[in-house]
Structures are given as structure tokens and as C-alpha cells.
Structure 1
Amino acid sequence: MSWIETIPYQEADGPLKKLYDRVKGPDDKIDNVLSIHSLRPHTLTGHVTLYKSVLHHSANQLPKWYLEALGVYVSHLNHCDYCFDHHFEGFSRLVNDPEKAAAFKGAVLTDSVEHYFKGAFLSGMRYAKRLTLKPKTLKEKHIDVLRVAGFNDGEILEINQVVSYFNYVNRSVVGLGVTTQGDILGLSPNDNDDPTNWNHS
């Protein structure tokens, strides 16, 4: 499950148990990406607050499927199979079209996202790749490209935050050897209207 000790739901108490009750899925399951925080519960609070804000918040304007797609792509670029598998499942549920989902997966795995995305969405993917692999090369002109493609500055911020979040979580997962063993793939805090609802479904 991971290379460090974690506290399972059944053994949790105090603040950790309260947090686990907020993020648990069916049958009291805690995703491994969340349980790795169990020795320092305050870091779980920070993680889920950021996650909920960038991916599952009603104030976001970009479609959730696109935000998930960015996460899948970044996870692939970072060789984070855990996040790739989880968020590809989430993406697939949102698009609700197996052929489109398979085409997207193929484009990501071959690093040919231009075969799936066009226009503004493709520009966002290219920005995600640069921010992930070559952040030092980013210039203001790369933001201008996103504007010309059709994104407003608020949407650019959404893209930036999703990409930055996935770079953070990918490194947490890869750096601690987290696996999907025992997880239910694709669960997330889907209630966009309530930022305090962290339950995974």
C-alpha cells in the first residue's frame, strides 16, 4: 500500500478518525492516497481542501471532465500510475462514452494529445506539459497563448491550479510508494455545491 506506516480506519481515533469520517467511501474505505497522511492528520486536511477546491468546486468554470483530463495527463507525465488509474476512471465516468475515453487514454499514453484535443483545450494540455516537465522555461508568452486560444485569466488559473495540484500529489504518491491495492478506483468528493462535503462516492 505504501512504504511508510499508515493507520487504517478501524484503528483511527481522535482528529484522524473525524477526518477519516469526512473522506471515507463505501464500507468505510479510505483511499491510500489519503491514508498516507494518517501520521500527520493536519496534512490530510491541507490535501483534501486543495483537492476539493481545484477539482470539485462549484465556482470552477471549466468542465470537470477537462480538469480530470489535465490530471490524467500530468500523472502520466510524472509516471504516477496510481493517480493515472484513479483519475482516468473519474474522467471515464464523466464523459460516459467508452470510445471517447479509450481514445483519450491512447492519446495520453502515446503523448499525442493533439489527436484528441483541439483549440483552447489543446493549448491547456501543452501548458500542463511545460509546467510539469520544464517549469523553468515558462514565460508570460505562454499565458498569452492560452488567452489567444480562448481562456480567460480565471480559467488559466484553474488550469494552473489543477496542474500544480497533480504535480504535488504525484510526488507524494510516487515518493511514498503508494499503490491502488484495496482502493476503489475513481471515487471522489463529487458534491460540488458543498465545499465541506469530502465524502468519496
Structure 2
Amino acid sequence: MSWIKVIPFNQATGKLKSIYDKIKGPNNQIDNVLSIHSLRPHTLVGHMSIYKNTLHHSNNTYPNWFLEFLGTYTSFINDCDYCYKHHFEGMKRFLNDSEKANILKFHIENDSLDKILNEKELNIIDYTKNLTLKANSITEDNIKKLRDLGVTDGEILEINQVVAYFNYANRTVLGLGVNYDNETLGLSPNNKDDESSWSHK
């Protein structure tokens, strides 16, 4: 599962058990990216709060599939196979269109998104790539370009936070050897109107 000790669901007690009960999925599954926090439950609370509020909140403007697409792309360019596969499945589920999901996957993997995305979407991807691989290269001009293409400041913040979250999650996974053994991929919180609803379905 990982390179450090992890407390599984059936051995959890106290605060950790109460958090696990809140986030568990079918068959008491706790995604390995979350159970990796089991020795420090307070960081699991932090992770879940950021994850739910950046990716699965009703006040987001962008649809879930698009935010999952940004996460899938970020994870791919970070070589984070765990998050890439998890969030591709999440994107496909929210799209409810396997053909479109597989087309996006093909173009992510072949660095050819310019063949299927419009100018605004490509500039969002460019911002995503720069924030992930060379954040110090971003200038106010990049923000102005997004704004000129019709992306609002609130949407720019939304994109920034989703991409920043995935870089955090990718580094958690890659730095601790988290894998997806015995996991159902693509589960996520469904109740976007309740910030405290963390259960995975």
C-alpha cells in the first residue's frame, strides 16, 4: 500500500475511526491516498477539507468533469499514476461519456490536446502546466490572457486551487509510495451542498 505504516479501517480507533467512518466508501474502502494520513489524523482532516472544497463544492463554476480533467492532466504530467488513474475514472464518471473520456485520455497521453480543445481551454491547460512544472514562470500577463478569453477571476482562483491541490496530492502519493492495490478507482464525495459530507460513493 505504501512505504510507511498505515492503520487499516478494521484496526482504527478513536479520532481516526470516526474520520474513517465519515469518509469510507463501499465495503468500508478508505482510499490509500487518505489512509496514508492514519498516523496523523489531523492532516487527514486537512486533506479532506481541501479536497472537498476545491473539487466537490456546489459554489464551483466549472463542472466536476472539467475539474477532474485538470486533475487528471496535472497527475499525468507529474507522473503520478495513482492519481492519474483515480481521477481519470472520476472524470469519466462525471462526464457519463466513455468515448469522450477516452478521447481526452488519448490526447493527454500524446501531448495533443491542441487538436481537441478551444483557445480558452488550451490557455487553462497552459496555466495548469506552468503552475505544475514551473510556477515561478507565471506572470500577471498569464492571468490577463485568461481574463481576456472570458475566464473570470473567481474561475481563475478555482482553477488555481484545483491544480494546487492535485500537486499536493501527487506529492503525497509519490513521496510515500502510495499505490491503488485493492481499491475501487474513481470514488468521490457526492453531496456538493454539504461541506462536511465526505463519504465516497
TM-score normalized by the length of structure 1: 0.98
Paired residue for 1:107?
107
Look up the match of 2:36. Answer: 36
How far 1:119 moved relative to its partner?
2.7
DSSP 3-state at the match of 2:71: helix
Overall identity of the aligned pairs, in %: 55
Q: Aligned with 2:183: secondary structure?
A: coil
State the 1:131 CA deviation: 0.6
User: What is aligned with 2:87?
Assistant: 87
Aligned length: 201
Counterpart Cα distance in 1 of 2:129 and 2:59: 25
1:116 CA drift (Å): 2.5
Secondary structure at 2:194 match in 1: coil
In 2, Cα distance between the equivalents of 1:43 and 1:115?
A: 40
Q: Distance in 1 between matches of 2:179 and 2:167?
A: 17
Instruction: Supply the RMSD in Å over aligned alpha carbons.
Output: 0.7
Match of residue 145 from structure 1: 145
In the alignment, which residue of structure 1 is the partner of 2:19?
19
CA distance in 2, matches of 1:185, 1:91: 11
Look up the SS of the partner of 1:89 in the other structure.
helix
| Consecutive unaligned residues in structure 1, runs of 5 or more | none
State the SS of the aligned residue for 1:186: coil
Q: Please state how far the C-alpha of 1:64 moved relative to its aligned partner.
A: 1.2
Aligned to 1:46: 46
Aligned twin of 1:125: 125
Tell me the CA shift for residue 198 of structure 1: 0.1
> Structure 2: any 5+ residue segments left out of the alignment?
none
Please list the CA deviations of residues 44-73 of structure 1 after superposition, one character each: whole Å capped at 9, or x if unmatched.
Answer: 000000000000000111111110000000
Distance 1:16 1:51 in 2: 18
How far does the alpha carbon of each residue in 1:10-43 deviate from its partner, in whole angstroms, 9 at most, with x for none?
A: 0000000000001100111100000000000000
The separation in 2 between residues aligned to 1:98 and 1:58, in whole angstroms, is: 24
Instruction: Say which SS state the counterpart of residue 91 (structure 1) adopts.
Output: helix
User: Runs ≥4 in structure 1, deviation > 4 angstroms?
Assistant: none
Asked if 1:171 is matched to 2:171, the reply is yes
